[in-house]
Amino acid sequence: MAKRVLIVDDAIFMRNMIKDIFAGGGFEIVGEAANGLEAVERYRELTPDLTTMDIVMPFKSGIEATREIVKGDPKAVIVMCSALGQESLVMEAIEAGASDFIVKPFKAEDVLSVVKKVLGGA
């Protein structure tokens, strides 16, 4: 059974890029969110196996959304997506409960490698 993925990013082109990567890797995309508020709501509705989370988003940051999701579901698997130069934010995200991170711009094989690692080789 394919692992279910929720994609969170405020840029639609980035969501589409990530969606293509996961679809090509045999994952099922169960939902998308464009900001941290939507991310928390969609996570609760869908309970995905994996969530990709942008850090800088309107209304609620990816770090705040991660913290809230993990508080409600300590087993949530969240991979942060950050741009170069956001290392301090990445560390804050890991402290908030993120499992790992991917630095933008990224290659499909790098994304799938990180995801397989955090999902235990799925």
Q: What is the pLDDT of residue 121?
A: 61
Q: What are the chain's domains?
A: 18-108 (3.40.50.2300)
pLDDT for the residue 41: 98
Kindly state the helix (H) or strand (E) to which residue 110 belongs, with its residue range: helix 108-118
* pLDDT at residue 83, rounded to an integer: 82
For the chain (length 122 residues), average pLDDT per consecutive 10? 94 95 95 97 98 94 96 96 80 93 89 91 54
Contact 69, 39 (CB under 8 A): yes
Predicted pLDDT at 9: 96
Q: Which residues have CB under 8 Å from 48's CB, separation 6+?
A: 4, 5, 6, 30, 31
pLDDT of residue 86: 76
